[in-house]
């Protein structure tokens, strides 16, 4: 039975450690975030992860609450060996595609299907994947080999295969970082990147993968200024970009999550950033670091889901489904056989 979300606040929170403190439990119960996100600091043992996921959901009395993680493969993989295999980065899968299209697509689907098997063992039901950014030569390696390649059509095809693999395993994807982080020459965790590329060129390259996957249910914004679109605000806080580019030109009508409000690409206090994200039109504010004082500030300035944001969030919740039957060992053997050919 899917619980109604009319009381859920438009926010996703992280937590500080391997289990919840009494303060965290009381805070989540009072504030009712829509979902949660896990990071490496939250990963210990199999039993501990399962217990933490259950504990998070219990605080908001919702056994189906979204629990997110960044499980891409390569250098962005929160659950590591021996709890989950060490998976290759997206660029290696893209190299397979360049050699043989069907092999590449199969590898992308398989890796995501295996991610889903790994994550569902712990009750984690959302993976912040696929990365649909299209890098250019010389851009910052904050994306780098997390991208499938430099061709937007390759990225779109591989991203769709990855998203489909997750969904086959009962895990929902979050495409990132809309409308594109690949051209950034700075790491948005540390500073605000500015992209000076024309709208026409962005439309023919960076936006292509997001437009191809516009039917997916969730996307995460880019903390990037596109000077040709809005010279004063990064996409995350730009009402103009969210309305005219993400919603209209790209055509994405799903649930739009901000990238992490704590990242230093955004300026001002946590309160300032939260207000700007809400005013810009993101449906959900994402706060990741688990610092209680910051979470309290964020919670003061987000409201319960309502209107279109509630409709989009409800579509996400209604889309959670059981995994399709699969032979895990056969899938792992098939994937392992593909990787040495890259």
Q: Give the residue extent of every domain in the chain.
A: 70-284+309-341
Question: What pLDDT, on a 0 to 100 scale, did the predictor assign at position 177?
Answer: 93
Question: What pLDDT, on a 0 to 100 scale, did the predictor assign at position 189?
Answer: 67
Q: Is the pLDDT at 297 greater than 90, yes or no?
A: yes
pLDDT category, 264, cuts 50, 70, 90? confident
Q: What is the mean pLDDT of the chain?
A: 94
What is the mean pLDDT of the segment spanning 55-59? 98
Question: What pLDDT, on a 0 to 100 scale, did the predictor assign at position 30?
Answer: 97
The model carries a pTM of: 0.94
Instruction: Give the burial class of 322: count Cβ atoms within 10 A of its Cβ; 0-12 exposed, 13-18 middle, 19 or more buried.
Output: exposed
Q: Which residues are catalytic?
A: 189, 259
Question: What pLDDT, on a 0 to 100 scale, did the predictor assign at position 262?
Answer: 93
pLDDT category, 106, cuts 50, 70, 90? very high
Q: Which CATH number is associated with domain 70-284+309-341? A: 3.20.20.300
- Tell whether the torsion through CA atoms of 90, 209, 163 and 5 is positive or negative: positive
What is the mean pLDDT of the segment spanning 107-124? 98
Q: What is the DSSP letter of 20?
A: -
- Beta strand 67-69 pairing with 126-127: parallel
Contact indicator for 134, 182 with CB cutoff of 8 Å: yes
The alpha carbon of 158 is separated from its chain's Cα centroid by a whole number of angstroms, namely: 16
pLDDT tens for each residue of 74-101: 999 999 999 999 999 999 999 999 999 9
pLDDT tens for each residue of 1-46: 344 445 899 999 999 999 999 999 999 999 999 999 999 999 999 9
């Amino acid at each position: 039975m899917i619980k109604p979300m009319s009381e859920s606040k438009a926010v996703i929170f992280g937590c500080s450690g391997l289990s919840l403190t009494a303060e965290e439990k009381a805070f989540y119960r009072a504030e009712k975030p829509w979902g949660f996100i896990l990071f490496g600091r939250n990963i210990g043992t199999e039993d501990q992860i399962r217990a933490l996921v259950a504990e998070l959901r219990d605080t908001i009395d919702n056994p189906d609450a979204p629990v997110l993680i960044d499980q891409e493969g390569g250098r962005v993989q929160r659950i590591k060996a021996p709890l989950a295999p060490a998976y290759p980065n997206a660029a290696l899968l893209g190299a397979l595609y360049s050699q043989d299209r069907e092999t590449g697509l199969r590898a992308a689907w398989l890796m995501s299907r295996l991610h889903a098997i790994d994550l569902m063992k712990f009750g984690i039901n959302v993976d912040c994947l696929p990365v649909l950014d299209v890098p250019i030569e010389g851009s910052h390696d904050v994306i780098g080999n997390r991208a499938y390649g430099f061709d937007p059509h390759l990225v779109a095809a591989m991203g769709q295969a990855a998203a489909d693999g997750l969904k086959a395993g009962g895990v929902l994807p979050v495409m990132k970082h809309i409308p594109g982080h690949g051209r950034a020459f700075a790491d948005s965790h540390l500073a605000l990147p500015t992209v000076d590329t024309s709208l026409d060129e962005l439309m023919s390259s960076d936006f292509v993968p997001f437009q191809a996957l516009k039917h997916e249910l969730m996307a995460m914004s880019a903390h990037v200024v596109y000077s040709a679109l809005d010279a004063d605000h990064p996409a995350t806080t730009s009402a103009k970009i969210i309305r005219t580019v993400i919603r209209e030109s790209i055509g994405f009508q799903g649930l739009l999550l901000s990238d992490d409000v704590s990242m230093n690409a955004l300026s001002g206090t946590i309160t300032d950033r939260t207000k700007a994200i809400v005013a810009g039109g993101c449906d959900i504010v994402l706060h990741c670091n688990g610092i209680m004082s910051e979470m309290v500030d964020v919670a003061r300035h987000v409201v319960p889901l309502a209107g279109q944001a509630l409709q989009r969030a409800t579509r996400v919740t209604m889309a959670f489904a059981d995994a399709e039957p699969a032979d895990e060992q056969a899938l792992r053997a098939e994937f392992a056989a593909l990787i040495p050919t890259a």
